[in-house]
Amino acid sequence: MTLEFTIYRFCSLLLILCFSASSQGQVSLNFEENYSLTYDEAIQAYKDLDQEYPEAKLLSYGLTDVGKPLNLFVISSSESFEPHILREQGKRIILILNGIHPGESCGIDASVLFARDILERNKDLYKYLDNTVVCIVPVYNIGGALNRSSYHRTNMDPPVEAGFRGNAQNLDLNRDFIKLDSRNARIFTEIFRLWDPDVFLDNHVTNGSDHQYTITLISSVIQRLNQGIGDFLEGVMLPELYSTMKDSPYEMIPYVHFLQRSPDKGMIQLENPPRYSSGYTSLYNTISFLNETHVYKPFPDQVKATYHFMRALLESTSENSQEIARLRKEAKLATASIREYVLDWKLDSSKVDKLYFKGYAYKNRVSRLTGHSLPYYDHNESWEKEIPYYKTYEPGHIVSVPDFFIIPQVWTEVISRLELNRIEMNPLTHDTLMKVEVFFIDDIDFGTSPYNGHFMHSNIKVRKEDQEIQFYKGDILIPLKQEGLPYLMETLDPRGEDSFMLWNFFDPILDRREYIDPSIFEQTAIEILRNDAELRSRFEKRKVDDPGFAQSGRAQLYFIYTNSEWAEKSYRRYPVYRMSSVE
């Protein structure tokens, strides 16, 4: 940074602080001067609204990673703030999440402006509260928000100061909705399952591309949703949102995820697995969006574009209130009866839509610093045209849904996460020997570098067996016929995109606990082969087919051991068992 820029940032901050101090009883919004609210200012703004308006209430839930509570600000025209009562009143619930990445702070300011305009009867927004309740998480990543600096988010056109992407543990909270390593994520899960929102929005900023739009939108992949909700989203709600935004100063485009760096080669709809906010919330048939303003646009425009989208979302939710209620009720019933589940989805590149796009020419130039080629978007050469848009996904791995999962009670970290998600579970009342379907982990790629606090695995291959397993009083029986079926399949089937197996929660099963002494086991191995003709035949064939095996005495002895009654029966046996029926 140049000295002139540093002086500019300091003077700007000083000026803004003076503006804030002159506020008459209300926290000042100074986003027009490139200033974003601090965490304390944002909370104070909502406290002021709570004090002034009976339709507003600031609720506090558990303590986050820095010891401060996670707040939820609720706007309810009936002056009721109990979610079950609001549902009985026929209200739709919108949940808005801000500051998951506090360096992307426009949602924090826009939501305060949005809440004030609703409560102060500005711009005809209050009428939508007749059938809709607005819930706002003022700042989700409080640890990151308190870590403010003028030097976060390099290359963006930032506010004078902004927070840090990681939380107090340096976790990316938008990768934590399944694994729940952070206090923040656990409290959010409590709030989300308690309030059961009909519509969810997560406000973000992106630097993944360069184009003429200030705001882009990620919605759920239609094919992943319940058909009724998917048809409604594609045929009604999304067209309404894009139309409303086109009539605003901030025309909106789907999130810009290019097939190649050159935009005219086409765009791909982003496929969010459940580790992300909108991927997680959609598992419960919540209509979910992730809003991305453009990092290279001025901060005041980022705030106002986010504000306009929240207005559009409130309007669309209110006007389609009864239809959303009906579709979600039907979807919950249908979800509980799913018999086959898609664990991963593949982009179908043979199906191409068209999208009108306003972009910039993608070029290369020679770097003045390194002398090497440097790609860039030329703002002096803009263009507008139709480009290919790939948004159709096809089922990848389809698996059967069992009637029950059974988890031994020892796996407390997994069970506690199921409890937070309000999964229906029943402890066994007595020791029981049961015949179940068992998975063995036949192959797995181990993570070699940390990813958000874990060495995440991939490419799990399983082998199935039917076995009699001894279970004990207190082990957990989980019926799949419940609203949480998608969550259970994503997390407890080891092949899921965000399964607990992939996230290392069952790693102890991948270790051997018993071994052989080759010199002692040799005689036992001879006896085993003498008494097992089928194994002896496989052993001899393996020596012929595999030269490396034929040259390794140790490998031969372990082959006999692992295929004998002496083998460690629990090695790589996945400890979530499946049952099709129960007496």
Q: Structural domains in the chain?
A: 30-335 (3.40.630.10), 398-512+571-579 (no CATH), 518-562 (no CATH)
| 462-515: pLDDT as tens digits | 999 999 999 999 999 999 999 999 999 999 999 999 999 999 999 999 998 888
| 512-531: pLDDT as tens digits | 888 888 889 999 999 999 99
Average pLDDT over residues 53-76: 97
Q: How confident is the model at residue 157 (pLDDT cuts 50, 70, 90)?
A: low
Q: What's residue 156's pLDDT? A: 66
Enter the pTM of the model. 0.92
The answer on pLDDT for 5 being more than 60 is: no
Q: What's residue 514's pLDDT? A: 84
Report the C-alpha gap between 292 and 299 in whole angstroms. Answer: 13
| 164-223: pLDDT as tens digits | 999 999 999 999 999 999 999 999 999 999 999 999 999 999 987 889 999 999 999 999
* Other beta carbons within 10 Å of 538: 14
**Element of type H or E holding 218:** strand 215-219
Report the C-alpha gap between 363 and 495 in whole angstroms. Answer: 41
**Lowest-confidence pick of 77-81, 257-261, 332-336:** 257-261
Q: What are phi and psi of 512, to 5 degrees?
A: -80, 145
What percentage of the chain reaches a pLDDT higher than 70? 95
Average pLDDT over residues 381-385: 95
The answer on pLDDT for 125 being more than 70 is: yes
Give the three-state DSSP class for 4: helix
| Cα-based distances in Å from 489 to 142, 274, 521, 583 | 31, 11, 42, 23
Quick one: 320 exposed, middle or buried, by C-beta within 10 A (0-12, 13-18, 19+)?
buried
